[in-house]
Structure 1
Amino acid sequence: MSDEANNFHSNIKLVRQIGRSVPFLDVLIENRKGTLTTSVYHKEAAEPYVVPFGPDHLDHVLRNTVDTAITRAVRYSTTLSEFEEEIRQMKLMFLYNGYPPRHIHRQLTTLFKTEIKNQHKDIYSKVENRLTGYPHLIPQSDAILKQYSDHLLDYLNQSYFTPLSYKDQLISREQAQILGSIRRIIQNMNLIIRVTDKANNFYIGSAGEFEQKARKFFSDTNAFTELSSNPFNEILNKVIQLLNTLRGKDLIRKWQYEQMMPDRTTDKILRPIFDAKCKDTTIIDGATLITELSKYNKKGLLKSTTLFCTFDIRNLYAMLPQEETLDILITFLHAHGYRKAKGINIDTIKKLASIILKDNAFAYGKKIYKQTTGGAMGSSLTLTSANLFMAKWQKNIVEEQTKTGEFYGRYIDDIFMTWNRSEEELRKFLDDVNTWHPNIKLDYKIGNSLPFLDVQLTNHNGILSTSVYHKSAAEPYVIPFTSDHPRHVFINIIQTCLARAVRYSSTFEAFNYERHYIKLMLLYNDYPSTFIENEFHKYFSEYISKSPFLPLIDEEQKYFRMRKEILGQPTPQQSKVAMSAALADIDNDPPDDDEKQQLNPDPKKSEENISNINQKFFTHLTCEKRFKTCKRDMHQVYHETFKDTPAMYTKLIFGNRIRRQTHNELIHKRPNKKLLQNTTIIKNKFEKQTMNQQQTTIIPEPPSTEYK
């Protein structure tokens, strides 16, 4: 054929090269026993020359030169050995052009090795910890663990060094350009971007305007004091000394001492007790409110003149009086008969809670502040403390509402109640409530139709009507279908939206409106229409029809039958709170010995021990759509390594770890390192100058106590 082509035109002559390995441009294409492989092609006459390293070129030019060579090696090398050979030649070329070894190594590490190293370390350490422990007891020096480590590393290298498809390259490049464009706009226009604490929306506004709002918040709450130095070391020492003292007096156990981060651990002790003892006036979610109001309606208390009232507390977290809140906490525990909670006595709990509420500092702008009133917004203990404080504050309102048979419920700082007297009396009552405590001020709304949380509640002449409520400022945004998330995340989003629509929509018309809203929202976020329809049909078919034909909800009777069934099921949040409440009275006064620290000394394998071999254990992978068969391949690596050992029967389950999200790339709230450093100014007697000397934190050793 090539000979014939040579005769097509007298001026056109071909130089042909035929074989199982031929170069084209800068890529070498080979046929190895029916397998197509590619690698970087270097012409024999080509000189090993790139932009030379030196001050004549900008840093980004030098970095881009190395990055381009590495990227080409990844794209063109279909096997790990070819990639490693290309990297070896590339290193020699850059060294020849004056590049320091550390410069080349840094670029390689940044692009590839760190991700692979972290993934390998995370997975292998979990497998090693599981198999070296009871009941497997495989020695850490056993060759089989080294074999698994090597196989795992080989697989991760092959996965990460496989070139991206052209489509994925275009998408990645486009997203990087969009991200860079947003960053430039934020910088050039002096904007600020944050994620709201409710609804997870983005707030974008003028940095100057944001600063004014922050100053107004500081002024209105009067809860923060500016500090002249960073108190981090002082607070850290105080926490450690308190834990050492408590352990030395045997007020906390060894396992509690070792695990205790005071904020999280203290809240885990208190939260179940609150969930159990205050459930009658607590609104867990919108579904809870609808259920309680339905009971109120069935009692015949909902009339055409019944008013709904909602009110929220201004800046509750920042306005909690610290000492009073601690006293309320202790009174609450005593009132419900608690001498200890999870083995820790009440006085110790107060000390732990006190250090969380009172020793709370933060950096804002270029200054450091200490919070003198309230607690940190992100602290789980602050949430529980606020709930306990409000439970005490609302006592008179609850008693008044109970006497008249009216409903009262609270979700943290948002309150909903019914009223069957005049609106004037209600306003007078609420104005009086506003004077009960100097730190607690409320803003209220009264009407026949009001939103609460994500529910719109309406009194239609004595008939309760509910529907999904969307704030006017809310964007129709969910995780985009193009995002690097596992597939079940997109399915869960659709199922959650549909479940909420069914629970909240008291009429077929309201449900159809919400169903159309969900479809439009999903389409707006790039969900394929076929995927949406399939998931809708799957969800509805579970409740309406058992036939193989996917049903549609086309009549009210079907809808109300489905709604009744769904309303009878607890929501995930209700199940979570119920499980928490069930732990309130468990293990509050356990025996003094540290049983949790003891290993099973019995070498004999009882039935229980044998069943332990079959236990599951979890590890996680960073989710990427290009790794479609990754979980299956990981299982294969594990099974091939341990196929002839008892470890074969231990089930390894891989979960998904999500990559850094967009707001993490755009929002940087961490202060400058210099601001976070603890510095002390020392004057030299002989030289009239000052110098900053870095303080060191001395962490005292725990007291030598014989653990019983």
Structure 2
Amino acid sequence: FGQQSDEFNLAKVSFSPTIIVHASIHVFNKEHLRLLSRGPTYVPPYQMTKRRNLEKNYKQLQHDLNRLFVKSNVNMIQSMFLQKQIKDSYMEMFSMPILSQSIHERAHYEQQLIEQIQNDLKRFNLILRRTHDQQNVFYLGDRNSFEQLSQEFMLQTDLFEIDMTIDKENVQATRDYLTNKIKLMNCEFENIFVNTTKYKDELKKINVVIDKVELPYLYFLPDLSKQPLLNVKPMMLTTQYSATYRLEKFLNQLLQPVIDIHQQGRIFHSGTDFSEKFHNYIDQYDRLRSTTNFVTITINNFYHLVPHHILLSTLLDFFVKYYRLPIVENIHITKIVRLTSLFLHNNRFYYDGKIYRFLQGGPSNSGLIETLSNIYLNLMDNFLINQSSTKQNEFYGRCQNQIFFTWNQSLNELEQILKSMKSDYHHLSFDIHIGKNLNYLDLYLENHNGILYSRVHHQHNQQPYTLPYISSKGNSIRTYSHWLRSSLLRAIRYCTSIEDFNQE
């Protein structure tokens, strides 16, 4: 890995990932590494069917049987006897293995490999994790080094603060503390919606059911985007039972359509969306000249841009300056801001014996945090558009934290605009690229004497022909089929030369 050639040679193209090994010592042989190179979404054959899954599947049959017995006037004792016989037969039938000898041998062999791998991971104190880039690739490294990087991140970051330390002596006190915080949230909901009869539907959507609450927890994945350096990226595991899940869903359904309408036409939802809009711009305005430069700006830490009080003041400013209406779907904007404040200040999670609370932004899998970040960056969008697009009819747009625009004026003028932007947003970190050829999202773009050349861009530090990572909750067959179809369509839309399309 890292030395593959992109030369057009179909015989060598492979969709098999390669495990990334950073461990100083390990005893895995070729068979172990070959199994691990199938990636974290690989499922060994002949997985035993769990009885609880059979019980779940049987419920529908049981429902149909009950209806049939009632319709046929079967008495209760006979009905119970028949149901027991049918259920016993069902469980026995679907619990029996139906395997060929070759599959059985393969399953047994791979099970032995897995047990050996698990034992050696413990024996040599190694860590095996999927990579942060959402590819179906495993990383093998030294546990101590990885955990040290994780601890250094937690000590140096200003994204969250320790809310409480848990030990054997205060487990119940911790439980009481968290329960009280949730009760206060529910009370605050009623304070915001004073007329509980009028807003009973809204309260029903956001009230937290205390007995079902699950505390999210933080974990780290290896980030190899700057090889050979290893970084770690925090990830949050949340469920629909987290304390802020219902509130987040409710608020995002209110806010996302508002910002989408306001930013219509200058937000890219994907590389394909960008490509279509950029081609339409070129065809409509004929503004791609031989001297036209491309500019990309990447804003780091999209989900943790600024402290919460700045996000809240920006949200209020957006309502006043751009939305200019007092309510959103019959809810006053002051109520929305107060609810958003509750969401931001109650995002707690567990890590390494401590409970933390976010100080900037929130979880990277939060749709509401993405919407709030878009609202905050809307001010920057307006600044750049006022400096360029409205005056010179330049193309401008943004996909999350990645901005793209064209520039047909002097580079000195552009440098002054970017300098002013950096000054106004000095608390943000930018990666800026200017030129007639560059990468944006998953595209390579080149202004070839006023003619746009483009193709799919594969990052040099990623394995280019591997399937994406699919979580255990996903349908891998459907997702992979969709990925294959999307990849083919992407090649058609991106590649302006037949050679590049053939390569894809």
Instruction: Measure how far apart 1:296 and its partner are.
Output: 3.2
Give the Cα separation in 2 of the matches to 1:202 and 1:252. Answer: 53
Matches within 5 A, 1:64-79: none
- The Cα of 1:464 is off from its aligned counterpart by 0.4
Contact 2:136–2:467 (CA<8 Å) still a contact in 1? no
**3-state SS, counterpart of residue 439 of structure 2:** strand
Distance 1:486 1:385, change over 3 A: closer
**Residue 242 (str. 1) matches residue 229 (str. 2):** no
The separation in 2 between residues aligned to 1:339 and 1:148, in whole angstroms, is: 60
Matched-pair contact (CA < 8 Å) for 2:190–2:196? no
Corresponding residue number in structure 1 for 2:164: 228
Aligned with 2:437 (options 439, 442, 449)? 449
Q: Distance in 2 between matches of 1:149 and 1:268?
A: 47
Contact 1:224 1:373 in 2 (8 A): yes
Aligned to 2:237: none
Q: 2:296 matched to which residue of 1? A: 310
Q: Whose radius of gyration is greater, 1 or 2?
A: 1
Asked whether the 8 Å contact 1:406–1:419 carries over to 2, the reply is: yes
| 1:280 partner SS | coil
Establish whether residue 513 from structure 1 lines up as the match of residue 503 from structure 2. yes
Q: Does 1:429 align with 2:364?
A: no
Partner of 2:126: 190
Q: 1:485 to 1:374 in 2, by over 3 A?
A: closer
Deviation track 1:361-398 (CA, whole Å, cap 9, x = no partner) reads 22233333222122222222111111111112321111
Residues 247 and 400 of structure 1: CA distance in aligned 2, closer, same or farther (over 3 Å): closer
Aligned to 1:471: 459
1:158-169 superposed matches below 5 A = 158-169=93-104
Q: 1:114 corresponds to which residue? A: 52
Aligned to 1:289: 274
After superposition, give the CA deviation of every residue in 1:458-494 in whole Å (9 maximum; x if it has no partner). 11111101111111222222279xx996765554333
Matched-pair contact (CA < 8 Å) for 2:128–2:138: no
- Number of the residue aligned with 1:320: 306
In structure 2, what is the Cα distance between the partners aligned to 1:474 and 1:235?
A: 43
| Count of aligned positions | 395
Measured in 2, the distance between the counterparts of 1:344 and 1:418 equals 40
* Aligned counterpart for 1:409 among listed residues 376, 382, 397: 397
Paired residue for 1:580? none
Q: For residues 348-427 of structure 1, what are the structure 2 equivalents within 5 Å?
A: 348-402=335-389, 403-427=391-415
Which whole-Å deviations, capped at 9, do the CAs of 1:248-302 have from their partners, x for residues lacking one?
6238733333333111221122112222221222011111211222233232211
Distance in 2, matches of 1:198 and 1:487, equals 17
How does 1:518-537 map onto structure 2 within 5 Å? Answer: none
Cα deviation for residue 243 of structure 1 reads 3.3
Alignment-mate amino acid for residue 353 of structure 1: T
What's the CA shift for 1:205? 3.9
Question: Is the contact between residue 227 and residue 368 of structure 1 (CA under 8 Å) also seen in structure 2?
Answer: yes
The verdict on how the C-alpha distance between 1:390 and 1:489 changes in structure 2, with shifts beyond 3 A counting, is closer
1:173 is aligned to 2:108: yes
- Normalization by structure 1: what TM-score? 0.50
Answer yes or no: is the 8 Å Cα contact 1:120–1:153 preserved in 2: no
Deviations along 1:184-236, whole A, 9 cap, x unmatched? 44432433524415556545444444445445545665222223345533432
- 1:271 matched to which residue of 2? 256
1:673-692 correspondence to structure 2 within 5 Å: none
Contact 1:456–1:466, Cα closer than 8 Å, also in 2: yes
- 1:619-658 maps to which residues of 2 (within 5 A)? none
Partner secondary structure for residue 410 of structure 1: strand
Measure, in 1, the Cα distance between the counterparts of 2:196 and 2:501.
58
Q: SS of 2:349's equivalent? A: strand
Aligned-pair distance for 1:118?
A: 3.4
Whether the aligned pair in 2 keeps the contact of 1:116 and 1:157 (CA below 8 Å) is no
CA 468–438 in structure 1, closer or farther in 2 if over 3 Å, else same: same
Percent identity of the aligned residues? 24
**Paired residue secondary structure (2:265):** helix
1:551-566 → structure 2 map (5 Å cutoff): none
Conservation of the 8 A alpha-carbon contact between 1:326 and 1:354 = yes
Q: Hey, what's the Cα distance between the residues in 2 that align with 1:155 and 1:385?
A: 51
- Identify the range of structure 1 (215-224 vs 416-425) with the bigger mean alpha-carbon deviation: 215-224
SS of 1:473 mapped into structure 2: coil
Specify which structure has the bigger relative contact order, considering alpha-carbon pairs within 8 angstroms and separated by 6 or more residues: 2
How many angstroms apart in 2 are the aligned matches of 1:190 and 1:206?
A: 5
AA aligned opposite 2:53: E
The alpha carbon displacement at 1:442 in A equals 0.8
CA distance in 1, matches of 2:84, 2:422: 64
Q: CA 1:426 to 1:224, structure 2 compared with 1: closer, same or farther past 3 Å?
A: same
Three-state SS of the structure 2 residue aligned to 1:222 is coil
Task: Pick closer, same or farther for the CA change 1:477–1:384 going to 2, 3 Å.
Answer: same
What CA distance in whole angstroms lies between the structure 2 residues aligned with 1:179 and 1:196?
Answer: 23
Shift of 1:341: 2.7
User: Kindly tell me: are residues 173 and 391 of structure 1, through their superposed partners in 2, closer, same or farther at Cα, counting changes over 3 Å?
Assistant: farther
Q: Is the aligned partner of 1:344 residue 2:336?
A: no
Residue-by-residue CA offset, 1:155-206 (whole Å, 9 max, x unaligned): 4542233443333323433443443344344432433524415556545444
Greater displacement, 173-182 / 310-319: 173-182
Whole-angstrom CA distance in 2 between matches of 1:241 and 1:420: 56
TM-superposition CA deviations, 1:39-62 (whole Å, max 9, x none): xxxxxxxxxxxxxxxxxxxxxxxx
TM-score normalised by structure 2 residue count: 0.68
Contact 2:49–2:95 under 8 Å retained in 1: no
Q: Which amino acid aligns with 2:409?
A: R
**Which secondary structure state, in structure 2, belongs to the residue aligned with residue 228 of structure 1?**
strand
CA contact (8 A) 1:201 1:474 kept: no
CA distance in 2 between partners of 1:400 and 1:408 (Å): 11
Closer/same/farther in 2, CA of residues 311 and 486 from structure 1, 3 Å limit: closer
Secondary structure of the structure 1 residue equivalent to 2:388 = helix
Q: Are 1:501 and 1:511, in contact at CA under 8 Å, matched by a contact in 2?
A: yes
Contact 2:135-2:466 within 8 A present in 1 as well: no
Distance in 1 between residues matched to 2:201 and 2:99, nearest whole Å: 47
Deviations 1:129-149 (A, max 9, x none): xx9xxxxxx9xx998998899
User: Which residue of structure 1 aligns with residue 201 of structure 2?
Assistant: 255
The alpha-carbon distance between structure 1 residues 366 and 405, as it changes in their structure 2 partners (threshold 3 A), is same
Q: Is the 8 A contact 2:292 2:447 kept in 1?
A: yes
Unaligned runs of 5+ in 2: 1-45, 166-173, 207-245
CA RMSD of aligned residues (A): 3.8
| Unmatched 5+ stretches in structure 1 | 1-74, 76-109, 132-137, 515-708
Contact 1:296–1:302 (Cα < 8 Å) also in 2:
no
